[in-house]
Chain A
Amino acid sequence: MAKKLLLGNEAVARGLFEAGCNVVSSYPGTPSTEITEYAATYDEMYSEWAPNEKVACEVALGAAIAGARSFCGMKHVGLNVAADPLFTASYTGVNGGFVIGVADDPGMHSSQNEQDSRHYAEASKVMMLEPADSKECLEYTKKAFEFSEKFDTPVILRLTTRVAHSRSLTELSERADVPVKEYVKNPQKYVMMPANAIPKHVVVEDRIAKQIELFETDDINTVEYYDKKIGVITAGNCYNYAKEVLGKNASYLKLGCVYPLPEKKILDFANECETIYVIEELDPYIENHCKKLGIKVHGKDVFTLQGEYSQALVAKAILGETKEFDGVSFDIPRRPPVLCAGCPHRGLFYALKQEKVTVSGDIGCYTLGALQPLDSIDTVICMGASISALHGRNKVDPENAKKSVAVIGDSTFIHSGVTSLIDIAYNNSASTVIVLDNSITGMTGHQQNPTTGKTIKGDPATQVDIVALAHAIGIKRVKVVDPYNLKETRDTIHEELAVDEPSLIISRRPCALLKTVKHNPPLKVNKDKCKSCKMCMKIGCPAISMKDGKAEIDFTQCVGCNVCTQMCKFDAIEA
C-alpha cells in the first residue's frame, strides 16, 4: 500500500487497526490524545473516552482478559493514575494482547512535570518499546501485541512529544484478522490474592529473564557499525539527532526495547567502539544500566537532565560545534498562551480577582487564569487536587473557608474531582467549589466527556448531571451561573463564600471555540466615548489593545461575548 505522511499518534492508531485491536479506552492528555481520536475513525475497533486513565487501563485489561487485543493511551502523568492496575496486570498477564501507550513530554510543552516513564516499566516489570518516528510507531504497535501474547504480559509503548507530534512517511498495510481468544476461567492467573500472587511473582521474574534472552538477538535493537571511534547507544528520537550530526562518523546501538535491556548486546557493542556516548532525554536510565554492566560511558556528564534534545545539542556536546546565527537588537516581549477571546473562564476569574480570594486551581485551559492580568490562581498540582487541597487548607484554617475557592473544569471534575468533593461533603468542610463547565475537554483540543452527552464518535450518550450528583453526595447548596454575566457571577461567589457549609457553583457556558457555539458580530470601540481608562484591559482579552491612546478591538478575534461591555463605565464598547 501507499506511503502516507502520518503524525506519530496517527501511526500508532493505524498500528492498532492493522494489528486487529478490538478495544481502545483512553483519557485525553497532550501529547497522546490523537492516538485515540484517530483510532475512533476506524469502525472496526470499539473506542471510547474513559473518565480517567485508571478506568481506561482497567477497561482495556478486562477486554484483554476476555481474549481481545486491546489498548489504552495516556500522557506521562496519566500513567501515575493508571499505575495501580498496571502493577498487578504485570502479574495477571493477558489473554488477548494488551498495550499501554504513554507519551512523555520532555520540555513540558503542555505538562506540569517532566517525569520519565521508563522507570515505570522497570518498577512494574512490564516490557517497554520506544519508536523513533511514525514508521516505527506503526511497526512497534504491531510488535507490542505480538510480544504481549508471546510473553503473556502487558506491553508499554513509550512515545515522546517529538515522536507523537511529528509527521513522517509511513507504509500502510491491511488489518490482520485476529479472532478474539476464548476466555477460560483461571483464578490462579486472574485472582490476585496472596496465595495466587506469590507464585505469579516467580512467573514475572522468569518472564523478564526470557525477554532479555530474546532481546540479545531480536532486530528491534539494531546495531550499525561505521566509524568505531565513537559508539552511540540511544533510543527513540535521540537516534535521529545523533544520526543527523554524526552520520557515518560513528556507530550506533539503537534500542527499540528500553525495558528489559539486553546485556551481552550492549557489552559487545561497547567492546567494538572506542568512546561510548549514551544519548537519552530526561533521566540517565540507559546510562545507569551500562554503568551497572561496568561500561565506561559519557552520558549526563555532557548532556542535560532537562528538556528536549536536538541535533544542535548533540553537536555541541560531542563535537564542540555550534552554528552561527543573527538576532534582533531589541527585547522581544514573551508571548505565553492566553485564555482565548470569548473564553467563558475570563468572567469567572475576574470575579474571583475582585473578591480577592485564594484560589486552589487545577489542570486545564483555565490554569491560564494564573497569568497576568487575571492573576487569580494560587496553586496547581495535579488532576483533581484543587478540591482536596482546598479542603486540607480549610481544615488547618477554618477562617480560610470564607475567602478561598477551588476551580476545576468539567472533565477534570469527572476525572478525579468527584471523590474529592465527596470528601468535602462527608467531612463537613465549609468549602466553596466552582466547576468551570464549558461543555467539553478544552485544553487537549475538544474531546467529549461524561458531562457533554456525547460519545467519542459524537453519538448521544448518558450525561452526568453535576447538580444532581452534588445533591446525591450530600452537597445541599448548588448554584449555576453564567460567567458572561459578571454581576451575577460575583454576587453568587460572594454569597456562597459567606455560608458555613459546603457549596458548589457551576460556572456554565460552552467553550467559545466549539463549532456549535454561535458568535455575535465583533464589538467596536466608539473612540469619542472612550476615555482611555483601560478598565477593559483588566480582563486580559487578547482581542483588546490600546491603539493611539484609545481601546481597540481586533475584529478577527472578537466573538462579541460582551464581558468587556460590562467593564466599560462610559458605554464606549458597542455592538
Chain B
Amino acid sequence: MNTYSVMIVGVGGQGTLLASRLLGNAVISAGYDVKVSEVHGMSQRGGSVITYVRYGEEVHSPIIEKGEADLIIAFELLEAARYLPFLKKGGKIVVNTQQIDPMSVVTGAAEYPAGVLEELKAKADVTALDALSLAVEAGSSKAVNVVLMGVVAKHMEFTKEAWEKVVEETVPPRFRELNLKAFDLGYNV
C-alpha cells in the first residue's frame, strides 16, 4: 500500500501524544512500517500541537506537509481549521467540537471565528462530535483522546478487538476500564 498519513492536532495538554501512541501501536500490530513524529518541550504548554503518524510498506519521511494528510484528527475546532491545508484532496477530518480560546481571544485582541464547522464541512469529509461530553460520561475530561481514537477506529481497517487490545496495552492499568469505556463511546458515535 501507499503510505497513509494521519495528523493529530490539538492544544498542548489535551493528550495528543497518547493518541499517536495508540495509533502507532495499532499499525505495528498489523505488521506495517510506521513513523511517528511528535513535538515536545515549550509548545506543549497550551500551544498549538501537531503529531504526525505515517504507515505503509516502507515509510521514509516522519512528517506530513500541506496537501498530504489522508486523515486529520482534531482535538479542537480552531485547530482543525488551522491544519486544513495539510489535508489531501478527498481526505477526512474527525473533529472534536470543543472550543478552547487562544490567549489573543482571551485578551480580546482577536475573536474566535464563527462558522468554523460549516466551512470545514463545505471543504472536506468531516465527522464532528462533542468528545468532551463523552469523555466526561466515561469518567474523565482527560479521556477526550481515547474517545476520538474510538471514532477514528471506525474509519480504519483494524478490528475493534485489535484496537481494544492496543488501548489495554498502552494505558496504565488503573485507567484501563475508563479508557475502554471512552473508546467504546467514541466507536459507537
Contacts and interface: CB of A to CB of B under 8 A. Distances in A.
Interface string B130-154: 0010000000010000000000000
29 contacts: A5-B25, A110-B42, A133-B35, A133-B62, A165-B39, A166-B38, A167-B24, A167-B34, A168-B59, A241-B61, A312-B68, A323-B65, A323-B88, A324-B67, A325-B86, A327-B85, A328-B113, A330-B81, A330-B113, A332-B113, A333-B78, A335-B82, A336-B102, A365-B45, A372-B103, A372-B107, A443-B41, A540-B107, A542-B101
Most chain B CB inside 10 Å of its own CB: which residue of A34, A330, A555: A330
Most chain A CB inside 10 Å of its own CB: which residue of B39, B84, B110, B111: B39
Most chain B CB inside 10 Å of its own CB: which residue of A7, A332, A443: A332
Nearest to A339: B45
Contact of A169 (B28, B38, B87): B28
B106 A328 contact: no
A325 B87 contact: yes
Contacts of A541: 106
Contacts of B39: 109, 161, 165
B165 interface: no
Q: How large is the interface on A (under 10, 10 to 19, 20 to 34, 35 or more residues)?
A: 35 or more
A187 interface: no
Contacts, number: 196
Interface in A131-182: 133, 161-162, 165-169
Contacts of B25: 5
A244 interface: yes
Interface string A535-571: 0010011101110000000111100000000000000
B13 to A, nearest CB: 7
Contacts of B82: 332, 335
B103 A324 contact: no
Tell me whether chain A's interface is mostly helix, strand or loop, or mixed: loop
B141 A556 contact: yes
Contacts of B106: 537, 540-542, 544-546
A235 to B, nearest CB: 15
Given A308-B63, A337-B45, 15 more contacts: A3-B28, A109-B42, A110-B43, A167-B24, A167-B35, A167-B38, A323-B88, A327-B84, A335-B47, A335-B102, A338-B46, A444-B41, A537-B107, A541-B106, A554-B100
A373 interface: yes
Contact of A30 (B40, B79, B109): B40
Interface string B51-86: 000000001111101111000000000110110111
Most chain B CB inside 10 Å of its own CB: which residue of A161, A324, A333, A544: A333
Contact of B41 (A243, A340, A445, A544): A445
A312 B103 contact: no
A169 B36 contact: no
Contacts of B107: 372-373, 537, 540
B112 A333 contact: yes
Contacts of B40: 30-31, 33-34, 110, 165, 445
A326 interface: yes
A371 interface: yes
Contacts of B11: 335
Contacts of B48: 334-336
B169 to A, nearest CB: 12
Nearest to A445: B40
Contacts of B112: 333
A554 B102 CA distance: 13
Contacts of A335: 11, 46-48, 78-79, 82, 102-103
A308 B63 CA distance: 11
Contact of A237 (B24, B62, B102, B103): B62
B33 interface: yes
A310 interface: yes
B65 A337 contact: no
B47 to A, nearest CB: 3
B108 interface: yes
B71 to A, nearest CB: 15
A328 B60 contact: no
Given A336-B47, A337-B46, A312 B66 contact: yes
Nearest to A444: B41
A444 to B, nearest CB: 7
Contacts of B35: 133, 166-168
Contacts of B62: 133, 162, 166, 168, 237, 240
B64 to A, nearest CB: 9
Nearest to A338: B46
A557 B100 CA distance: 10
A310 B61 contact: yes
A332 B104 CA distance: 11
